[in-house]
A = this chain, B = another copy of it.
Amino acid sequence: MNEEVAIRRRLHANPERGFCEYRTTCLVVARLRELGAEVALGADIMVPELRMGVPGDVDRAWREALDEGLDPQTMAALRHGTTGAVGILRGRRPGRVVAVRADIDALPLTEDGDDGHRPHRLGFASTRPGTMHACGHDGHTAIALGLARRLADRDFAGTVKLLFQPAEEGLRGGRAMAASGVLDDVDDLICIHLGLGAPTGTVHPRTHGALASVKLRATFTGVAAHAGLAPEHGRSALLAAAAGALAVHAVGQHGSAATRVNVGALDCPGASNVVPASATLDLEVRADDTAACDLLADRVTAALRGSAAAYGVTCALETTGHAPQVRCDADLADRIAAVAARVPAVTAVGGSLADRASDDAAWLLDRVRAHGGRGTYLVIGADQAGGHHQSTFDIDEDALGVGVDLLDRVVRTLGAAC
């Protein structure tokens, strides 16, 4: 079992939710330091205030992680959920700055326990019920660390930055990392993703069709009252939330963009004889055009606020996730394709992959482009068991080696490009 596989399995067995990736970050940091990389952490790579959807229990999780014996110095930098890390490897020769981004968080999902599920059968399934690496981020992290090992020789031109981003799921961490400025000297950014339907050995140097997305949490606050004795004193947060849920689904049509609206959860606890005073909606909008997505977010916001007002209720809105559309630079992708064609492990170099998902790598890509750099979203094919975000998800670990081989060549080539 090679090192990439070993690391991937260790991460797979210990998945952590976004902004709670304390163990994962500590593992990454320790390995980077072993390999001689500089490491940046916490507020150096993240504007904490720009994180979105930070869970309420990041501090409790931090304390638990600390109690397990993690490195106190590293943990101090991660306090209050400023997880993630950036490793910097400087080549012996001058050259361009190339960055590779891996996301490190897991999903709120309980892993399949059937013998047919390989991680379970081989004993590296999640040890944390309710949390699972079901989108391949364990593999992304392992590839990036594998790349760090390869680059430890320093026999390359330029600088390589390895970004280990927290909280991609829910589009919560990318904006804060982009705003930190850690990418502001980067010429080429490669955001990697395993799978997405592409088989092991294939590579797609870019994607198209991704959806910009905004995630919102709406909290309605009304007035409780006895439903039999004095309903006129009540202002039902439930009715406001219900009307809001219907309204947001009715305002999303677009003539020239694909759009989506979904209210995914409504929580309104209470008893049947009390007018309910509090309700929460979790929802998202998406569009294959950033402007259409922003318009949609505005309309949805108005729909929720108006519905609240209609029932005499207040509505507080929190943006719990947000990403513009992932856009790739064709010239960078073409360079990668040219390199990939010469990597033995790569059996086929595909064109632009159509992908309807959302990824907050978009913030990082846009940041690099803002100062004249280039970026792309690189899909490293991997045979899959189970779909992404399903409890039976698993990836062909051979793809990890393909990824390391490919990126090794790519960053050396790009770093040396004039």
Residues in chain A within 8 A of chain B (CB atoms): 108, 170, 211, 213, 215-216, 226-233, 236, 238-239, 241-247, 249-276, 279, 282-284, 286, 292, 295, 299, 302-312, 320-321, 356-358, 389
Contact = CB atoms under 8 A, between A and B. Distances in A.
Q: Ordered nearest first, which 4 A-B pairs have the shortest CB separation?
A: A306-B310, A306-B309, A227-B262, A242-B242
A299 B244 CA distance: 17
B245 A231 contact: no
A236 B253 CA distance: 12
A266 B243 contact: no
Copies assembled: 4
B310 A243 contact: yes
| Interface of A: prevailing SS | mixed
Contacts of A267: 266-269
A253 B261 contact: yes
A358 B273 CA distance: 10
A271 B282 contact: yes
Contacts of A299: 312
B268 A242 contact: no
User: Which interface residue of A216, A228, A236 has the most chain B CB atoms within 10 A?
Assistant: A228
User: Which interface residue of A232, A273, A279, A304 has the most chain B CB atoms within 10 A?
Assistant: A273
Nearest to A357: B228
B229 A356 contact: yes
A254 B275 contact: no
Contacts of A242: 241-243, 245-246, 266
5 contacts: A231-B262, A232-B254, A233-B255, A242-B242, A264-B271
Nearest to A282: B272
Nearest to A295: B232
B228 A260 contact: yes
Contacts of A260: 227-228, 231, 253
Given A260-B228, A299-B312, A252 B251 contact: no
Nearest to A298: B312
Contacts of A245: 238-239, 242
A280 to B, nearest CB: 10
B255 A356 contact: yes
A272 B266 contact: no
Contact of A276 (B211, B264, B306): B264
